[in-house]
Amino acid sequence: MSRGRVVAWIVAVSVIVGGVVITAILVSGPRPDATLQRTAYVADADAEAIVRVQTETPEMQIDLTTLRPFEPFGEWQVWSAVNDFGAPCLLAFDSDHFQADCLPEPGDLLLTTWPHDPTEGGQIHFAYRGDIVDVFEYRVAQGN
């Protein structure tokens, strides 16, 4: 075999192996437990979201006219908005908890729930992706 063919063969094998490795890395990443889609407004939920934003996050300066709901995840209501500085915000709340964060683009906006009581279980990560929110649930192992 000529030197040119050997080099071409090595390059071809390297490209194939590289493609397999990259594909394996992309496929083996964590998969969301749920993907939430945007939903239509519900008057009661709208009112609760507005009150929670006004009372629990006034420092974030969230523009109430930009509040948009997503499908619920269990008892959690999930909303997106934009603050007065143009940064996207993500909000999640249930009857006892409220979490909110804003982050200028191009940052990855992630919102993590923290149990207030260790017996409540693990954490939930909400990852804002524009028109969807990916949900990753991390449960605490019981019985140790």
- 56-87 confidence digits (pLDDT tens): 989 999 999 899 999 999 889 999 999 999 99
Structural domain boundaries of the chain? 1-30, 34-138
**Residue 75 in contact with residue 95, Cβ under 8 Å?**
yes
**Residue 127 in contact with residue 29, Cβ under 8 Å?**
no
What are the residues whose beta carbons fall under 8 Å from the beta carbon of 18, sequence distance 6 or more? none
Q: Could you tell me the two tokens for 40?
A: 């239509």
At 96-140, the pLDDT tens digits run 888 999 999 888 899 888 765 555 667 899 999 989 999 998 877
pTM of the complete model: 0.72
- DSSP helix/strand/coil, 113: strand
Q: Could you tell me the two tokens for 95?
A: 């009857």
